[in-house]
Copies of this chain bind each other. A is one copy, B any other.
Amino acid sequence: MNADKVPDIIISRLPIYLRALQRMSEKGMKTTSSQELGEHVGISAAQIRKDISQFGEFGKQGTGYSIQFLIDKLREILKVNRMWDVVVVGVGAMGHALARYPGFLNRGFRVAMIFDVDPSKVGQKVGDFTIEDASQLVDCVRSAKIKVAMVTVPASAAQEVTDKLVQAGVKAILNYAPTSVNVPSHVHVQYIDPSTHLQRMTFYLD
């Protein structure tokens, strides 16, 4: 399978399927259908079958999908059948919340290091972590071979932090700063900004 050939819109749905399947599995379910999965995630059964068939024949006519088999396949496809260390940069309220976030468990990620630029925060503990000095960011992240980062700094600092992460070898950045950042084409960025998410919905309200 060539990653370049699968449309990004399909990739964006796979984590949603995986999440729903993991919840089904936690509830003790063993098999499901594209119809049932579709009802859970609000996506049509036909779309789900089409998306999943991009990667092979994982279901059986009549009996549907083995949940555990499909979980294993999706984890392999999304490369979360391993554990990715994640660096958090910026330890405000959001950075605190992410450093202690239970929702990474069993999803392929663990926070490994947290950094802040504020001397009064450096050395303090957040859960199991000691806040590291952001001036050491490039060296520490490079030495630890960390490829995934979450950035929770103010908008004004986001580009500089992003540049440092790229310099350190980070390839995937989840940006919580309310601003777009520029990265080289080999680096991936996703954005989480509650205001833009909310504005996408208010458009439709009266």
Q: Which B residues are CB-close (under 8 A) to A98? A: 194
- Among A14, A97, A203, the one with the most B-chain Cβ atoms within 10 Å of its Cβ is A203
Given A11-B203, A97-B94, A108-B202, A197 contacting B180 (CB threshold 8 A): no
Judging by beta carbons under 8 Å apart, are B196 and A15 in contact? yes
Q: Which of B23, B39, B109, B193 contacts A179 (CB 8 A)?
A: B23
Judging by beta carbons under 8 Å apart, are B200 and A103 in contact? no
Given A11-B203, A180-B40, A180-B41, A172 contacting B198 (CB threshold 8 A): yes
The yes or no answer to A190 lying at the interface (CB within 8 A) is yes
Q: Which B residues are CB-close (under 8 A) to A19? A: 178-180, 193, 195-196
Q: Which B residues are CB-close (under 8 A) to A204? A: 3, 171-172, 188
Judging by beta carbons under 8 Å apart, are B194 and A147 in contact? no
The yes or no answer to A93 lying at the interface (CB within 8 A) is yes
Judging by beta carbons under 8 Å apart, are A200 and B104 in contact? no
9 contacting pairs across A/B (C-beta < 8 A): A3-B203, A15-B199, A39-B182, A97-B97, A98-B194, A103-B194, A147-B205, A174-B194, A188-B201
The yes or no answer to A100 lying at the interface (CB within 8 A) is yes
The yes or no answer to A12 lying at the interface (CB within 8 A) is yes
Interface residues contributed by chain A, number (CB under 8 Å)? 61
The yes or no answer to A86 lying at the interface (CB within 8 A) is yes
Q: Which of B12, B148, B198 contacts A202 (CB 8 A)?
A: B148
Judging by beta carbons under 8 Å apart, are B199 and A78 in contact? yes
Q: Which of B3, B80, B103 contacts A193 (CB 8 A)?
A: B103
The yes or no answer to A96 lying at the interface (CB within 8 A) is yes
The yes or no answer to A122 lying at the interface (CB within 8 A) is no
The yes or no answer to A49 lying at the interface (CB within 8 A) is no
Given A179-B19, A205-B147, A11 contacting B198 (CB threshold 8 A): no
115-138 of chain A: CB within 8 A of chain B: none
The yes or no answer to A79 lying at the interface (CB within 8 A) is yes
Judging by beta carbons under 8 Å apart, are A190 and B179 in contact? no
